[in-house]
A and B are shown apart, each in its own frame.
Chain A
Amino acid sequence: MTDPAPPTGTPADTRPPKPRPAPVPDPDTAPYWQAAHDGHLVVQRCRACGATQLYGRDRCLACRGPVDWVEASGRGTVYSFTVIRQNYSRPFRDQIPYVVALVDLEEGPRVMTNVVGCAPEDVRIGLPVRATFEAVSDEAGIALFTPDETRS
Chain B
Amino acid sequence: MSSVDVASRPQRTASLVWRGLTRSPSGFIGACIALAVMAFAFIGPLVIDSTNPSNGDKIWTGPSAEHWLGTNHQGKDTLIKLIMGGAEPLLVGFMAAFIAVGVAAVVGSLAGYLRGPVDTVALQITDIALTVPGIVLMLVITAMYRQISATTVGIIIGLTTWPVLMRSIRAQVMSLREREFIEAAKLQNLGTLRIVFTEILPNMAGYIFINFILAINNAIYALVGMYLLGLLPSTADNWGLMIQESWATSAYKDPDAFLYIFMPLAMIIIFQIGLVTMTRSLEQALNPRLREH
Q: Is chain B a partner of chain A in the same complex?
A: no
Q: Chain A interface (Cβ within 8 Å of chain B)?
A: none
Q: Chain B interface (Cβ within 8 Å of chain A)?
A: none
